[in-house]
A and B are shown apart, each in its own frame.
Chain A
Amino acid sequence: MVKRLSYVLGLKCRECGREYEKAPIYVCEYCFGPLEVAYDYQAIRESISRGAIASRPPSIWRYREFLPIDGDPTDGLYSGCTPLVRADRLAEALGMKELYVKDDSVCHPTFSFKDRVVAIALSKAKEFGFDTVGCASTGNLGNAVAAHAAHAGLKGYIFIPSDLEIGKVVGSLIYAPNLVAVEGNYDEVNRLCSEVAYHYNWAFVNINIRPYYAEGSKTYGFEIAEQLGWRYPKHVVVPSASGSLITKIQKGFEELHQVGLMDAPPKTKLYSAQGKGCAPIVTAIKDNTDVIRPVKPVTIAKSLAIGNPADGYYAARVALKSGGYGEEATNEEIIEGIKLLAHTEGIFTETAGGVTMAVAKKLIEQGYIPKDEATVICITGNGLKTHEAVLPNIGQPKEIEPTLASFEKIIMGKQ
């Protein structure tokens, strides 16, 4: 087998196809289209096998050939390879036969799928020689950047909307980054960051490092296929904010076929899940168009509250082209979704996961997802980060005196 470190040919514009050398750039100078990493798939094909992957440690780096770094990975060595839970109790509740939860609420080290992308971004940022990293974040990304930067010894600047949940604020502050709370919504934070990025030579993971960073999301798809015994599921329900994850899961599935790890191309239908009040991608899917109309977000799913989704166009197209669909969840449905997953599978997810759960339930009820076909629900973050969303809806502990009599009276209802 041929062994080499990098299979990256360079960057290529997704819109006009212009090619660029590897650099911390993210947008086509000519048409403003997003740049994407181009790989030498023939070389990957010659170097990789299912056996080789199986022999490697359980992290995102077991798919090293598909990831855009040149040297050895330095970050996120324990990120990824999260459980694909066979969710039989949830399946029963929804009348499904074969249902799985891909559970990134336990991703190392910050309990969301953002550990995957940040692992790539920071490894790459160091290769480019940056000593400072930054991001615009709805919370999870900030947590991941702060933690990985601490581990890597990099300086970090994290920009968040000032109304974030306390769990997500604490989840960044503990790593002592420069945490900047901006008065505004995520789209405004992101816009500010794009201007800061022009003035400071930092590695902004979701801006100038974005082509590399975003590739980390493919590992979520690789793991689903590998954990199903090298099989594609029939349906995958994916939460969408910027629209990146759904497109990268699809890309990951396709790459597996492209390099011969899968015999046939994927026929998986992909579904986009958004919160009602911030569903520009779902709206486009329902209108059968790829024109994204931005919105001003109003939803408790703050981690999905991106009204102007950069990859929205691609996300809508992936869902439509795959034969999938999209649906939105109200705040009440989000809470019910969180509780349903907790009560049936013992998994506590954040509001974004509640969106995905609620949308999966709707799509099954509406018949978009047939009850006898293998379906994966993408749970991407941890409920302890957004506990205030469910706090009023889960009851209170019952207080008793430290006596058996008190226990029997109050808890067991004996007089």
Chain B
Amino acid sequence: MPVKVRIPTPLQNLVGNQSDVSCEASNVGELINNLDASYPGIKARICDEGGSIRRFVNIYKNGEDIRFADGEQTSLGDGDEVSIIPAIAGGY
């Protein structure tokens, strides 16, 4: 069940300078582990020392913030698209 993963600029050098990669996973946590198996070092950038997704990393499944779903347990299936995007500012 390949999932399309959009890679932000700061991480693209870890994945052969691609802006998106394909990866098999049934949930977001597993996706990060599987990405790390293919592209060693990427998990350490997305997650903190405790293994949780870093405070300033937002992950979206098909455009929806995974914090509105089940966080790292958010399920993934064939054709889903995951975006990893650094937090951005605006407003007041």
Interface residues of A (CB under 8 A from B): 15, 26-34, 113, 135-138, 141, 186-188, 190-191, 193-195, 198, 206-207, 210, 214, 238-245, 293-294, 296, 303-304, 306, 308-311, 313, 352, 380
**Which residues of chain A have C-beta atoms less than 8 A from B85's C-beta?**
191, 194-195
Known contacts A294-B65, A308-B65, A313-B55: A210-B10 contact under CB 8 Å: no
Least CB separation from B8: chain A residue: A198
Given the complex of chains A and B, what is the CA–CA distance between A113 and B91 in angstroms? 11
Given the complex of chains A and B, what is the CA–CA distance between A243 and B90 in angstroms? 9
Q: Is the CB of A193 within 8 A of B54?
A: no
Q: Is the CB of A141 within 8 A of B10?
A: no
Given the complex of chains A and B, what is the CA–CA distance between A316 and B58 in angstroms? 19
A-B pairs with lowest CB-CB distance, top 3: A241-B91, A241-B92, A310-B89
Interface residues of B in 63-91 (CB under 8 A from A): 63, 65, 67-68, 83, 85-91
Q: Is the CB of B58 within 8 A of A308?
A: yes
A375 → chain B closest CB, angstroms: 19
A183 → chain B closest CB, angstroms: 12
A46 → chain B closest CB, angstroms: 32
**Which residues of chain B have C-beta atoms less than 8 A from A308's C-beta?**
58, 65, 87
Q: Which one of B55, B57, B65, B88 lies within 8 Å of A210 (CB-CB)?
A: B88
Given the complex of chains A and B, what is the CA–CA distance between A138 and B57 in angstroms? 22
> 16 A-B pairs, CB-CB below 8 angstroms?
A26-B88, A27-B86, A28-B10, A31-B54, A32-B86, A138-B90, A190-B90, A207-B88, A207-B89, A210-B88, A241-B92, A242-B89, A303-B92, A306-B90, A311-B89, A380-B92
**Which residues of chain B have C-beta atoms less than 8 A from A137's C-beta?**
90
A5 → chain B closest CB, angstroms: 26
**Which residues of chain A have C-beta atoms less than 8 A from B63's C-beta?**
188, 191
**Which residues of chain A have C-beta atoms less than 8 A from B45's C-beta?**
30-32
B39 → chain A closest CB, angstroms: 15
Known contacts A32-B86, A294-B68: A244-B58 contact under CB 8 Å: no
Given the complex of chains A and B, what is the CA–CA distance between A138 and B90 in angstroms? 8
Q: Is the CB of B88 within 8 A of A310?
A: yes
Q: Is the CB of A242 within 8 A of B60?
A: no
Q: Tell me if B9 counts as interface (CB < 8 A to partner A).
A: yes
Given the complex of chains A and B, what is the CA–CA distance between A26 and B55 in angstroms? 15
Interface residues of B (CB under 8 A from A): 8-10, 19, 45, 48, 54-58, 60, 63, 65, 67-68, 83, 85-92
**Which residues of chain B have C-beta atoms less than 8 A from A309's C-beta?**
91
Q: Which one of A136, A195, A293 lies within 8 Å of B90 (CB-CB)?
A: A136
Q: Is the CB of A190 within 8 A of B68?
A: no
Q: Is the CB of B91 within 8 A of A244?
A: yes
Q: Which one of A27, A190, A193, A195 lies within 8 Å of B56 (CB-CB)?
A: A27
B59 → chain A closest CB, angstroms: 11
Q: Is the CB of B10 within 8 A of A29?
A: yes
Known contacts A15-B56, A32-B45, A294-B65: A310-B90 contact under CB 8 Å: yes
Q: Which one of A15, A191, A207, A303 lies within 8 Å of B60 (CB-CB)?
A: A191
A188, A191, A243 — which one has the most chain B CB atoms within 10 A of its CB?
A191
Least CB separation from B55: chain A residue: A313
Q: Is the CB of A141 within 8 A of B54?
A: no
Least CB separation from B57: chain A residue: A32
Least CB separation from B65: chain A residue: A294
Q: Is the CB of A304 within 8 A of B92?
A: yes
B79 → chain A closest CB, angstroms: 20
Given the complex of chains A and B, what is the CA–CA distance between A219 and B55 in angstroms? 28
Given the complex of chains A and B, what is the CA–CA distance between A207 and B91 in angstroms? 12
Q: Is the CB of B89 within 8 A of A193?
A: no
Known contacts A30-B45, A32-B54: A138-B91 contact under CB 8 Å: yes
Least CB separation from B12: chain A residue: A198
Given the complex of chains A and B, what is the CA–CA distance between A308 and B63 in angstroms? 14
Known: A304-B91, A306-B91; 15 extra A-B contacts, CB below 8 A, are A26-B88, A30-B45, A32-B10, A33-B54, A34-B56, A34-B87, A135-B90, A138-B90, A191-B60, A206-B88, A294-B67, A296-B68, A308-B58, A308-B65, A310-B89
